[in-house]
């Protein structure tokens, strides 16, 4: 079974631009979560989707948004990029919603904002 | 608040040495606890988990026991290998029913010959 895939793997954008990142969960998984990883702040939760609905949101500004499609694939969007948005963005999928379900992470998208 | 605290790194050990990485958590309720490992340039891999008090998670020679009385979930391995060099993250689950993970800051482990 294929793992979690994220596209693109690397991205360079300019301040003020917007970006869309994509995540395809493991087949059959219905929950997708997004995390931002930076050297300074570590791993921070962005949001979680289940059955096309956002179930939980982390403490990030409204410039960060996401959605989930009927096939469970998810996208996240960052508008008006800032230098501080440079990070590794990780997507994780799990079979269902609930802390007992194991989450599987993709390789991440490395975003650099210049 | 709800948080995870793990020991600062980097930790440098000789091959076959004993490893302990400390992790403590705060939470309302009884969260599931996890250890993830991240190799350079990769995402996170689940190493082991425990879902209730006194559970022991184990995988690839690593072990951690869910200690409710000390709110701890320390990672141990009896004999480390060079291939264990990576960053290790302790995490707690969401007692509110979601999938949110709260991570510690990570501990870099370097194993030398």
Tens digit of pLDDT at every position of chain A (114 positions): 689 999 999 999 999 999 999 999 999 999 999 999 999 899 999 999 999 999 999 999 999 999 999 999 999 999 999 999 999 999 999 998 887 788 999 999 999 999
Give yes or no for B28 touching A (CB within 8 A).
no
A39 Cβ under 8 Å from any chain B Cβ: no
A51 touches chain B (CB under 8 A): no
DSSP secondary structure, B8-74, as one string: -S-EEEETT--EEE-EEEE-SS---EEEEEE-TTS-EEEEEEE-STT-EEEETTEEEE-BTTTTB--
Instruction: Give the residue on B whose Cα is nearest the Cα of A38.
Output: B105
How many A/B residue pairs have CB atoms within 8 Å?
70
Tens-digit pLDDT profile for residues B72-99 = 999 999 999 999 999 999 999 988 878 8
């Amino acid at each position: 079974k294929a793992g979690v895939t994220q596209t693109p793997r690397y991205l360079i954008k300019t301040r003020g631009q917007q970006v869309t990142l994509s995540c395809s969960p493991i087949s059959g998984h219905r929950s997708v979560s997004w995390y931002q990883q930076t050297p300074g702040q570590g791993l921070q939760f962005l949001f979680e989707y289940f059955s096309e609905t956002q179930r939980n949101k982390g403490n990030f500004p409204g410039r960060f948004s996401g959605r989930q499609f009927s096939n469970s694939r998810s996208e996240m969007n960052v508008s008006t990029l800032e230098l501080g948005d440079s990070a590794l963005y990780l997507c994780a999928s799990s079979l269902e919603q609930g802390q007992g379900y194991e989450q599987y992470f993709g390789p991440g998208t490395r975003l650099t904002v210049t | 608040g709800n948080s995870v605290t793990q020991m600062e790194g980097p930790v440098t050990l000789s091959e076959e040495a004993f490893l302990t990485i400390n992790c403590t958590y705060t939470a309302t309720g009884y969260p599931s606890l996890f250890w993830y490992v991240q190799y350079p340039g990769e995402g996170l891999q689940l190493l082991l988990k425990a879902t209730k008090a006194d559970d022991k998670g184990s995988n690839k020679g690593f072990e951690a026991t869910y200690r409710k009385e000390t709110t701890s979930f320390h990672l141990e391995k009896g004999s480390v290998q060079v291939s264990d060099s990576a960053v290790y993250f302790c995490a707690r689950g969401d007692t509110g029913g979601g999938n949110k993970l709260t991570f510690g800051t990570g501990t870099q482990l370097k194993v030398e010959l």
